[in-house]
Amino acid sequence: MSNQPIIITTKLKIGISACCMGCPVRYNAKGWDLVKSLGREKSDFVWVPVCPESMAGLGVPRNPIHVVGADGRAIWTNEAKVVNRGGAEVTDAVKAGASACMEALERADITAYIYMDGSPTCGVYRTTLKKQKRGNPPGVFGALLLDKGYFLIPASDLQSPLKWWDWRRRLLAFHWIKTVEIEDMKTLYAVWHQLKFICQELDEPWARALGKKLAAVNREAFMDFVEVFRSEIMMVLRKPSTPAKITNRLWKHYAHYRKASGKSIPEINEPTFKRNVTTIAGELIKMERAAVDDGILFGNTPVIYRHRKPDYDS
């Protein structure tokens, strides 16, 4: 680790609600291919689609279902039930389908899951259509996803190039901090140096406090501190950023890149320059590529995925 981006060459596995990958498994036999929005980036990941309601054996098409009771969590403590539009109770079937899907995700060893919000089953922060008021989040499967601690991404954000860029760079950093070995103080400092810029962007006061705790840590408390350090960073990396924060940081890191490389990238604009999110995402991707090519750390994206090519092998 140094002033360079970390390059990951293994494709991360991402679980996904199958209806968001084009599988026509919704109650009305429809599906949307939201992954198509990623273009060529789709092949940077291994996808693991699952559909808990299909695995429940409810069939396609089927009567839509909803939770009667507090929320999807209460299903797992037998304090709520799942019924379909015809009034039939399908609680046991939905639990069996959700458990089977979770077993598949665990076998696949996924890092992240892309969920369909608004579903009483896969929804995490919303379990009904916006205008309806039926049931509370999380959904039956959404409750299991939250308990497993996966990096959770709403499927609708795949359609926005900037939101996806933000999710993707945080996901790669999340995977790295989750798996990197930290055995001594030197590595601990190096890991912080790698991630501190993105952490500062996401939550400046918290990052400042963590930096101070890091400076004060002693050898006796080292192992306990590493676990707190790791879990706090993983928690913060789940938070989306904003276009304003992203463009400000882009400009700051671009200044560093120009100084370190002596090169410029004419397409990169100042934060005050008005442009749409697609243009901003394009600038970020150009900056990432240039940073990797020149071996300079671009703090917005400290961890990058690249196909295994001789130029990028570590």
> In the complex, which residues of this chain contact ligand SF4 (CB under 6 A)?
17-19, 25-26, 51-54, 116, 119, 121-122
Task: List C-alpha distances in Å: 31 to 35, 61, 116, 261.
Answer: 12, 12, 11, 47
Query: Least separation, in Å, of the C-beta of 28 and ligand SF4?
Result: 9
Report d(CA 297, CA 255) in Å as an integer.
12
Closest C-alpha among 47, 72, 73, 234 to residue 151: 234
Query: Least separation, in Å, of the C-beta of 41 and ligand SF4?
Result: 22
Query: Least separation, in Å, of the C-beta of 111 and ligand SF4?
Result: 19
| Closer to ligand SF4 by Cβ: residue 53 or 71 | 53
Query: Least separation, in Å, of the C-beta of 310 and ligand SF4?
Result: 40
Helix ranges (H only) for the chain are 52-55, 72-76, 91-108, 140-148, 161-179, 185-202, 204-216, 222-237, 243-261, 277-294
Query: Least separation, in Å, of the C-beta of 40 and ligand SF4?
Result: 25
Contact 105, 152 (CB under 8 A): no
Phi, psi of 154, deg, nearest 5 = -70, 135
Pairing assessment for the beta strands 65-68 and 81-84 based on DSSP bridges: antiparallel
∠ CA(175), CA(237), CA(259), 5° rounding?
Answer: 90
Contact 49, 16 (CB under 8 A): yes
| Closer to ligand SF4 by Cβ: residue 17 or 300 | 17
| Closer to ligand SF4 by Cβ: residue 110 or 116 | 116
Report d(CA 25, CA 10) in Å as an integer.
30
Query: Least separation, in Å, of the C-beta of 116 and ligand SF4?
Result: 4
| Closer to ligand SF4 by Cβ: residue 54 or 300 | 54
CB atoms under 10 Å from CB of 312, counted, come to 16
Query: Least separation, in Å, of the C-beta of 147 and ligand SF4?
Result: 17
C-alpha of 216 from chain center: 31
| Closer to ligand SF4 by Cβ: residue 46 or 255 | 46
Query: Least separation, in Å, of the C-beta of 218 and ligand SF4?
Result: 48
Contact 153, 166 (CB under 8 A): no
| Closer to ligand SF4 by Cβ: residue 91 or 121 | 121
| Closer to ligand SF4 by Cβ: residue 121 or 200 | 121
Burial environment of residue 138 by CB neighbours within 10 A (0 to 12, 13 to 18, 19 or more): buried
| Closer to ligand SF4 by Cβ: residue 139 or 161 | 139
